[in-house]
Amino acid sequence: MRGLKIMAGLAVTLGVAVPAAQADTLAVVKDRGALQCGVTTGFAGFSAPDSKGEWQGLDVDMCRAVAAAALGDASKVKIVPLNAQQRFTALQSGEIDLLARNTTVTQSRDTSLGAIHAGINFYDGQGFMVPKSLGVKSARDLNGATVCMQTGTSNEQNMADWARANNVKYTPVVIEQFNEVVNAFSAGRCDVFTTDASGLASIRISKLSNPNDYVILPEIISKEPLGPFVRQGDDAWLNLVKWSLEAMTGAEELGITSDNVDEQLKSTNPNVQRLLGVTGSAGKNLGLDEQWAYRIVKQVGNYGQSFERNVGMGSPLQIQRGLNALWTEGGRIYPLPIR
């Protein structure tokens, strides 16, 4: 013990950071009685308040799924709207327990910010939106354009890398607040808006007064796997969030929905039985009761249901499943086995 104290003191003397003990996030959430979940300040389809002021979206459903698993009630979520600059600081400081804010998983974010991703809930890529009046058909025709984007995102570097590789010169218009970027674009301060393709679809439908006056160009210039993040050092909480997402995708693969989940409790399929807690010890392994996944499906739905109502063809965004389809249907959603 004396040796450890000496080493810790030496580390402080040399200016080396000594990691603090990580809190038991599940215990903190249970004591509080609510999950504090960081989302965007308003991104239709992913996280935005509806006409009643209630937050809805694919990322909000991620928050609700974790609350259903951890607290037994998907409504026990405190939504914390954050801009791109605030999101990781809020997670690091403990202001939020979970970051579900259409955030791209990258090596640097997983290794240098004290955070780690807990899965992928949307496969995306950076694209471009322009007014139809420009007559532009391809991003390669954007030489000399002014380009609006939000600071503090991966969009800046992606744009610079792509432009350099394709010999396209542009003038960046970089703005901190997302809504101000949208306003600048709609006011004509820039020729192009670049962000994730899902974001462009959301902006076009929900933020621009005449959506048909704008077109999203065909090029996708980056890989943007989006997913929830938690703090490093609390593996139990990481597992809970990760497997909450896996429960949603696994339920879709097995054909379990919020409408038929009660009937599925009678299934003789061993995979269904393990997912719904009829057999096995998946809940115990997570520090939860065995009804954790049942509650997620019953109260939130499976991944396909969440996708369809928030961003899919049944929503105003009308985004096709594409890469976000199940692996059995040509997509990348490959649920891990619960056993």
Enumerate the domain spans of the chain.
25-123+226-317, 126-222
Q: Where are the alpha helices (DSSP H) in 169-302?
A: 178-186, 197-206, 235-253, 261-264, 270-275, 282-285, 292-299
Domains 25-123+226-317 and 126-222 share a fold: yes
Q: Pairing mode, if any, of strands 229-231 and 115-117?
A: antiparallel
Nearest to 324 by CA among 45, 94, 17: 45
> Residue 180: phi, psi to the nearest 5?
-70, -30
The yes-or-no verdict on residue 326 having pLDDT over 60 is: yes
Cα–Cα distance between 208 and 203 in angstroms, integer? 7
pLDDT, residue 22, reads 54
Does residue 8 surpass a pLDDT of 90? no
Indicate if the pLDDT at residue 21 is higher than 50. Answer: no
Supply φ then ψ for residue 297, to 5 degrees. -70, -40
Cβ 99 vs Cβ 115: under 8 Å: yes
Paired tokens of 183: 């306003």
**What is the CATH architecture of 25-123+226-317?**
3-Layer(aba) Sandwich (3.40)
Question: What are residue 129's DSSP bridge partners?
Answer: 193, 216
pLDDT average, residue stretch 262-267? 98
> For strand 35-39 and strand 77-81, is the pairing parallel, antiparallel, or unpaired?
parallel
pLDDT over 50 (residue 291): yes
State how beta strands 192-196 and 145-150 pair. Answer: parallel
Give the pLDDT of residue 192: 97
Question: For residue 150, what are the contacts with CB-CB under 8 A and spacing of at least 6?
Answer: 84, 174, 175, 176, 177, 178, 181, 195
Q: Name the CATH superfamily housing domain 126-222.
A: Periplasmic binding protein-like II (3.40.190.10)
> Has residue 7 got a pLDDT over 70?
no
